[in-house]
Amino acid sequence: MLCVFVILALLISVGGFLKLNANRDAATSTSAMSDVNPLSAPQIPTGSGVPTSVNMGMPGATSVTSLQAPLTASHVARFTLTAQAARLSIGTGVELPVWTFNGTSPGPTLRVQQGTLVIVTLVNHLAFGVTIHWHGIAVPNAADGVAGLTQDAVKPGQSYMYRFFANDSGTYWYHSHQLSYEETGGGLYGMLIVEPTTPTYHEDVDYSIALHEWIEADNQPILTLNSSQKTLNEATRPGQWVRLRLVNTSSSASGIPTLVTLVGTHFKVIALDGHDLNGPQWLDQTPLPIGTAQRYDLLFQMPLHGPVTLVEANENDTLHYLNSPALVFGQDTKPSSLPNVKSWFDLTTYGLPARSTLNLLSHFDASYNIVLNNMEGSSLGRMGMTYTLNGRVFPNTGMIMVHEGQISKIRFDNQSGFYHPMHLHGHVFTVLTHNGKPLSGSPVQVDTILVPPHQSYDVAFIANNPGLWMLHCHNFLHANWGMDMMVAYTGISTPFTIGSASGNFPD
């Protein structure tokens, strides 16, 4: 087990069809690098405390390489995503050097039908290793895209094939999980939408937005909607129903969630992290706190007169919305004045109660208490602010061992002044309590639970997807400085290693 702890320390080192959002294409542009200096390649950690080559697997006969989807199925969707450098125009005269999939950031939005076998070939035209993690999708472990755990990082000039069934409909996303703090922040991300075989809602317009924060050369943050800092426009007609899918693809040091709302009509939150809510109620200009990696699906009807505008607030001023970037549905311009931010959306009281597979009366095979905090300290030889689990950074955070079919409960107790979006790969959390109080609204299932400062959440999950899985704060800075651990099934091994010899360093 001590060997496992040492290995875990490395994690903090740092018929379907393809459909691009036409509105995004009109708002932003990318092109091959020319007069904009490219981003510096992520640096492989070296020095004291960085092992050369270690293996994270458990003793056992089942390798992660055997945990994969078949090569064929009745419905198959094939895509190719090419990682390459480009320059990005964000629409305000500013061009940024970025890393992209297929020349765009966000990368192509992949749309498939529920139940489809998805086959994606990653081709790497960058000068460093990359992977793709399919965030929120219950993929077979071999397709999870974690460098050094489920695969080697795809080296320059090489390719890798991912295979998984899109069994759960909803809004998901993908991003690199090799040196994630730099690579995802630098542009290697996109959205994946799984359309249901039997739709729950009718929508005339289906629009997707990635909320991303870019960093200029002077270290100033730039908030964008689909990599645009200006106003986006989507033509809609009065009376049409609109489904708006939102994903937060960036993170800041504070972890303060991005606040967004709609002005011009009332709306419902119909899904969180791809999972439908029961009996959603109408909201009016209610701020939605979207933590890093979280997704919200909104539904609204265009009014007879006037536009509907999506606006967001800056993390440094969560009391007022910004005039730009913004997204306007309809033929008119955005409103001349915006409302002040009011009480935030509360997922624990929203919607109507319903029966849930997991609840407080369920039998839990194991329970864990994980305290989230931070302190000045050392991580892999670096001195600075560390982000801790139960007072420790890797290699002393331990791990959660499970066997297939086990039901586990976790309390995330945030004793820090930071927000922490806690994400478990390959599984779904059922939210049980907030600050010890049971939910009074719809059952909530998410893959990323945002834990505010000095608050707690109890969640549960079923061990129904064998493998070696990461459990970490999805603020990549926090993960990079210690807030990682593992959920590992007994008897699962891996042939891959993490360290300077292989160049595999997931965050």
pLDDT band, residue 4 (cuts 50/70/90)? very low
Compute the average pLDDT of residues 18-33. 44
Average pLDDT in the 188-195 region?
A: 98
Looking at the predicted structure, is the pLDDT value of residue 321 above 90? yes
Average pLDDT for residues 467-489, to the nearest whole number?
94
Q: What is the mean pLDDT of the chain?
A: 90
- Cα–Cα distance, 95 to 29 (Å, whole number): 10
Q: What are the structure tokens assigned to 283, written together? A: 């909201």
Distance of CA 101 to the CA centre of its chain: 16
| Token reading at 219 | 């270290």
Q: In angstroms, rounded to a whole number, what is the distance separating the alpha carbons of residues 87 and 61?
A: 46
d(Cα 263, Cα 240) in Å, to the nearest integer?
Answer: 16
Torsion angles phi and psi, residue 102, rounded to 5:
60, 30
In a domain, 353, yes or no: no
**What does the pLDDT read at residue 30?**
62
CA distance to 213, 252, 271, 473, per residue, from 221 (Å): 6, 9, 29, 21
> By three-state DSSP, how is residue 66 classified?
helix
Please check whether residue 456 is in contact with residue 412, taking contact to mean a CB–CB distance below 8 angstroms: yes
Number of domains observed in the structure of the chain: 1
| pLDDT tens-digit map of 77-116 | 999 999 999 999 998 788 999 999 999 999 999 999 999 9
Domain for residue 450, yes or no?
yes
Burial class of residue 322 (count of CB atoms within 10 Å of its CB; 0-12, 13-18, 19+): middle
Residue 185: helix, strand or coil by DSSP?
coil
Strands in 3-115 per DSSP E: 17-18, 29-31, 54-55, 62-63, 76-89, 95-101, 110-113
Please tell me the distance from the alpha carbon of residue 176 to that of residue 506, in angstroms, as a whole number.
9
What end-to-end distance do the CA atoms of the chain give, in Å? 21
User: What does the pLDDT look like over 136-152, one tens digit per residue?
Assistant: 999 999 999 999 999 99
The range of the structural domain enclosing residue 472 comes to 366-498
Cis (ω within 30 of 0) for the bond into 325? Answer: yes
**Would you state the structure tokens that stand for residue 340, as one six-digit string?**
């002040």
pLDDT category at 421 given cuts 50, 70, 90 is very high
Measured CA to CA in angstroms, residue 285 lies from 227, 327, 341, 444 at distances of: 24, 15, 8, 22
342 CB-contact burial (10 Å; exposed 0-12 / middle 13-18 / buried 19+): exposed
Report whether 145 contacts 132 (CB < 8 A): yes
In a domain, 428, yes or no: yes
Q: What is the pLDDT of residue 336?
A: 84
Query: What's the pLDDT at 51?
Result: 63
Residue 38: pLDDT band (50, 70, 90) is confident
Within-domain flag for 2: no
Q: Tell me, yes or no, whether 377 lies in a domain.
A: yes
Element (H, E) at 343: none
> Does 397 reside within a domain?
yes
pLDDT over 90 at 506, yes or no: no
Whether residue 338 is predicted with pLDDT greater than 60 in this model: the reply is: yes
For 214-229, write each residue's pLDDT tens digit: 988 777 889 999 999 9
Q: Look up residue 499 and give its DSSP letter.
A: B
- 93, 96, 100, 106 alpha-carbon torsion, rounded to 10°: -50
The pLDDT of residue 123 = 98
Which residue type does 254 have? S
pLDDT higher for 221 or 47? 221
Lowest mean pLDDT among 26-30, 41-45, 389-393, 420-424: 26-30
pLDDT, tens digit, 9 for 90 and up, residues 384-415: 999 999 999 876 788 899 999 999 999 999 99
pLDDT score, position 403: 96
> What pLDDT score does 333 carry?
85
254 has a pLDDT exceeding 80: no
CATH (domain of 490): 2.60.40.420
| SS3 call for 261 | strand
- Output the pLDDT for position 480: 87
Residue pair 168/194 in contact (Cβ under 8 Å)? The answer is yes
Give the integer Cα–Cα distance in Å for 491 and 488.
9
What pLDDT does residue 47 have?
A: 76
Residue 259 scores a pLDDT above 90: yes
d(CA 331, CA 337): 18
User: Does residue 259 form part of some domain?
Assistant: no
pLDDT(17) > 60 = no
449 belongs to a structural domain? yes
Q: Is the dihedral of CA 497, 44, 253, 105 positive or negative?
A: negative
pLDDT of residue 29: 55
Residue type for 422, please? Answer: M
Q: Specify the DSSP element, H or E, that contains 456.
A: strand 456-462
**Of the candidates 181, 169, 420, which has an alpha carbon nearest to the alpha carbon of residue 292?**
420
Which residue type does 29 have? S
Q: Mean pLDDT throughout 58-83? A: 95
Q: How confident is the model at residue 472 (pLDDT cuts 50, 70, 90)?
A: very high
Query: 215 has which bridge partners?
Result: 221
Question: Is 259 in contact with 344 (CB distance < 8 Å)?
Answer: yes
Which 8-state DSSP code applies to residue 422?
E
Helices (H) and strands (E) in the chain, counts: 4, 38
At 401, the amino acid letter reads M
Summarize the confidence of residues 460-485 as an average pLDDT.
95
